[in-house]
Each structure stands twice: as C-alpha cells, then as structure tokens.
Structure 1
Amino acid sequence: MEFKIDAIETPALTKAQLSELLFEQIGLNKREAKDMVEAFFDVIGQRLIEGDEVKISGFGNFQIRTKAARPGRNPRTGESIPIGPRRVAVFHASAKLKEQLHEAVAADAQTPMAVAPAEVRRGAEVD
C-alpha cells in the first residue's frame, strides 16, 4: 500500500498530518486515526526509554546511545562548564530507505531546473 502525501504544506510531517492521511486513505475515522498514531509513537518512545532498539523494516533503526561526560564551553562568555553524561536517540536509515533516497536524488538530477541561470539570479541582463 502506498500513501500519497501531496497535500502536505509544511516541510515537516506531523502527527496530525499522519492521522489525516490514515483518515483519508485508509478509511479510519478521525478519532481512530489519531489514537493509532499516538499509540504508535508511545510504543516507540517507551521502548527507547527502556533502552531497547526499535527496528522498522524497510525504514530504519532507532537506538539509544549513552554519551560520556565531557568538558564544554559557554560560547558567550568562554567559561568552561562540565556537560554531564546523557542518553540520546539516534536513527540509522535502512538500506532500502537509503536506496529510495538515492533514486529520488538521481531522478531530481535528471529533471531540468526550473530556476533561472546563475547570471539571471545575480541580476545580470540576458539578451
């Protein structure tokens, strides 16, 4: 099943937009769609909090990494400050997703540019 996301107006895909896509393209009612999206992200978040890796086939892996304490610096004052240890979430795209991205970039490279030549963009006159 393929979702069409032509109606997205922002550069980021939001949970509300995901819910709307489930409503429009799958036929779930709006409440079910919202609940499904919330439950999906709750499960992923909870598993990451527990320290588990989350693997989504064909998309990628989410992992938790523990970063060690390190010295830091306040950029405004130059004062040295310690940065404590912390856990961060990292994402690694799957080979399938990387290939899809590569194909999309290659297709874009073959499409003629809709932007004027550099001379026109810089304000030079063109005959």
Structure 2
Amino acid sequence: MTKYELIDEIAEKACCTKLDARNMLNAFIDTVTEQLVQGNKIKLIGFGTFEVRQRKAREGRNPRNNEPIQIEASKTPAFKAGKQLKDLVNGK
C-alpha cells in the first residue's frame, strides 16, 4: 500500500476529505519523527512502540575484498508490534 492509498483509506474510514486525511497522516509522521529525533519513545497500546535503538560499534567485513572494517556506532529507528497487533496478523 502506498502513502496515497493509505490516505484514501483514512479519508473513507474517518469520513473526511482526502486533504484532511493527508494532513492528519503528515502530522502523525512529523510528530513521530520529531519525538524519535529527540530520543523519545512512542507507545500506542495494542498497536506497538516506536523507539530509537543504539547500535554498538563493531567490526565488519568489506564484501569486495573481505578485509575487516570498523563500523561506527549508530542509532536506528525501530518499531515493535504490540501483542494485539501480532495476534490479529497471526489470525488469533
């Protein structure tokens, strides 16, 4: 599903215009992004949790010549599905 298809679904289910649905979706995305950049966690009970995870510095291998390389520590955004969402996806 593309962002535009998602906007269509939101507009239909929320009984609003596509413009309103687009603005709501963009506001949600912007808010989640801002909170993750600040290092905050967003918990949506029953749906899941958006968070930033720390990745340690580690040694890797260059796939071209198999030489060892140092991979720097980094942060990565992550989503962990909640139990209710997992159960629905698994047909429970």
TM class, shorter-length: 0.7 to 0.9
Residue 2 (structure 2) aligns with: 14
- Give the corresponding residue for 1:58: 46
**Inter-partner Cα distance in structure 1 for 2:87 and 2:69:** 42
RMSD: 1.5
TM-score, reference length from structure 1: 0.66
Q: Following TM superposition, by how much is the alpha carbon of 1:14 offset from its aligned partner in structure 2, in angstroms?
A: 2.6
Which residue does 1:69 correspond to in 2? 57
Q: How many angstroms does 1:25 deviate by?
A: 2.8
| Pairing partner for 1:78 from 66, 73, 86 | 66
1:29-48 alignment runs, 5 A limit: 29-48=17-36
SS at match of 2:77: strand
Which of 1 and 2 has higher RCO (CA within 8 Å, sep 6+)?
2
Q: Percent identity?
A: 35
Structure label with greater radius of gyration: 1
CA deviation vs aligned residue, 1:70-112 (integer Å, no higher than 9, x gap): 11111121122111010012222111112212226xxxxxxxx
2:84 equivalent in structure 1? 96
CA 1:30–1:101 in structure 2 vs 1: closer, same or farther (change >3 Å)?
A: closer
Tell me the matched-pair count. Answer: 92
Moved more, 15-24 or 57-66: 15-24
Partner of 2:75: 87
TM-score (norm 2): 0.88
